[in-house]
């Protein structure tokens, strides 16, 4: 198996879209060689603990309402093309995602990381829930089979706060500038919400190498060619 590290933030729409595209490839190649884990990258590491009004955030980030509309138009179009439900009008707050990343970390320990990541994306982009609120996070954890009382107690503590911040900072030092970013076997970097066809090609190439079907020997797939990276947040 080859490690596939996914640097992501649960409020990144391209991460939501990119996961759907990757998962479709994995479903078509059930014998894929990836051991997948999710790693923290906070789009807004300086966000106030309680988050902020969504409209104010978007207008500040994109230079007004028209800039926000232009930025999110391709997101809506890409989601529709993928058959993904995305209800941007339901999102009223942009949260601080530190606690969400803590939950993803704990879910990884319990082998429930993919389920929790999927639930966080759905909660935010489909249901418009505030995934910075600890009660919402406890609900999500429970829905994915985690012990609600344990998660509630951990969220109320400082457990792993500094570890998540340190991992986020380490990712930036190593060159991660946007998400999603995928690292294969700690060697090849694939940036952006790549298409399902792209991932199918990567999986087939890696499978061939790992089975000895080529003369190149086992190894990671190349990064996406310059200019072909999918959209990132």
Summarize pLDDT for 80-118 with one digit per residue, the tens.
999 999 999 999 999 999 999 999 999 999 999 999 999
* Model confidence at 29: pLDDT above 50: yes
Each residue of 150-185: pLDDT tens digit?
Answer: 999 999 999 999 999 999 999 999 999 999 999 999
Is 9 within the bounds of a domain?
yes
Q: Is residue 226's pLDDT more than 60?
A: no
Looking at every residue in the chain, the average pLDDT score rounds to 93
Residue 207 belongs to some domain of the structure: yes
Answer yes or no: is 26 within a domain.
yes
| Tokens linked to 30 | 């059930």
Do the domain assignments include residue 226?
Answer: yes
Average pLDDT over residues 186-214: 93
Closest CA to 103 of 59, 157, 34: 157
What percent of the chain is predicted at pLDDT more than 90? 85
Reading the block at residue 81, the tokens are 């093309």
Mean pLDDT of 201-225: 71
- pLDDT at position 213, please? 52
In the chain, how many domains are there? 1
Provide the 10 A C-beta neighbour count for residue 168: 21
CA separation, residue 203 to residues 41, 67, 69, 77, 216 (Å): 25, 37, 35, 26, 15
Q: So what's the pLDDT on residue 208? A: 95
pTM: 0.92
The answer to whether residue 136 sits within a structural domain is no
Checking if the pLDDT of 220 tops 60, the result is: no
For residue 220, being part of any structural domain is answered with: yes
In tens, the pLDDT along 49-79 reads 999 999 999 989 988 888 888 989 999 999 9
More confident residue, 63 or 218: 63
CATH number at residue 189: 3.40.30.10
- Helices within the chain (DSSP H only): 13-28, 54-62, 65-81, 98-109, 113-121, 134-143, 148-155, 161-173, 196-210
- Its domain, for residue 26, covers 1-41+176-233
Task: Indicate whether 89 belongs to any domain.
Answer: no
Predicted pLDDT at 185 = 96
Q: 98: closest CA among 143, 52, 40, 59? A: 40
Asked, for residue 11, whether it belongs to a domain, the answer is yes
Residues constituting the chain? 233
């Amino acid at each position: 198996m080859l490690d596939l590290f996914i640097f992501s933030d649960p409020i990144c729409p391209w991460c939501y879209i990119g996961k759907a595209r990757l998962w479709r490839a994995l479903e078509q190649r059930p014998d894929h060689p990836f051991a997948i884990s999710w790693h923290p990258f906070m789009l807004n590491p300086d966000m106030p603990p309680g988050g902020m009004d969504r409209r104010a955030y978007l207008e500040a980030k994109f230079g007004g309402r028209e800039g926000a509309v232009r930025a999110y138009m391709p997101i809506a179009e890409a989601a529709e093309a993928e058959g993904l439900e995305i209800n941007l009008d339901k999102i009223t707050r942009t949260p601080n995602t530190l606690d969400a990343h803590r939950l993803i970390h704990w879910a990884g320990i319990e082998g429930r990381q993919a389920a929790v990541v999927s639930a966080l994306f759905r909660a935010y982009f489909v249901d418009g829930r505030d995934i910075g609120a600890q009660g919402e996070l406890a609900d999500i954890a429970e829905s994915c089979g985690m012990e609600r009382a344990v998660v509630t107690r951990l969220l109320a503590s400082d457990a792993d706060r500094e570890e998540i911040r340190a991992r986020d900072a380490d990712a930036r030092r190593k060159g991660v500038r946007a998400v999603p970013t995928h690292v294969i076997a700690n060697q090849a970097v694939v940036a952006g919400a790549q298409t399902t066809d792209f991932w199918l090609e990567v999986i087939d190439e890696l499978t061939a190498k790992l089975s000895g079907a080529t003369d190149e020997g086992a190894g990671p797939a190349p990064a996406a060619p310059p200019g072909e990276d999918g959209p990132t947040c």
